[in-house]
Amino acid sequence: MSRPNAQSMKPATAAKKLDVYLPATPVEFQENAITRAELAALQDDPPQWLKDLRKDGPHPKNLVAAKLGVSIAGLGRGGVTEALTTEQIAALLEEKPDWLVAERESYQAVLREERRVKAMREDQAREG
């Protein structure tokens, strides 16, 4: 990995762009700036560690929330504070704890309301 400059990014930024949990990445990745070219190479031809992380996790909260069908805040309310593996996510989906059922229902209601408001605004824009 290379030295920081205008064309490089912090490891946390690169991890976010790659949709991986930074603490689970190799030390070399965590401790060095990543150039745009290096990021593009990782995206185009991911090394085995990146393939494994994407497949098995641990996954960052945004992906855990998406896979569970809840918001990131809903994860916190459910007591999920750490990154989860694919296996742990599958277990939660199978177990369907009460908090997960409630958070999924709440999240879907929020999404429905957002769609309703968006449609209403689009209608008003067409009329007005």
* Range 110-127 average pLDDT: 92
> pLDDT value at position 107?
94
Q: Give the DSSP H or E segment for 8.
A: strand 8-9
Q: What integer pLDDT is reported at residue 5 of this predicted model?
A: 52
pLDDT(1) > 50: no
Q: Is the pLDDT of residue 7 over 90?
A: no
> Identity (one letter) of the amino acid at 33?
A
Per-residue pLDDT of 63-111, as tens digits, reads 999 999 999 999 999 999 999 999 999 999 999 999 999 999 999 999 9
Q: Which residues pair with 9 in a beta bridge?
A: 34
* pLDDT one-digit tens code per residue, 36-51: 999 999 999 999 999 9
Task: Parse the chain into domains and list their residue ranges.
Answer: 1-56, 59-128
pTM for the predicted model, two decimal places: 0.79
Largest CA distance in the chain: 57
Element (DSSP H or E) covering residue 74: helix 72-77
Is 90 exceeded by the pLDDT of residue 22?
A: yes
81's CB contacts (< 8 A; 6+ apart) are 75
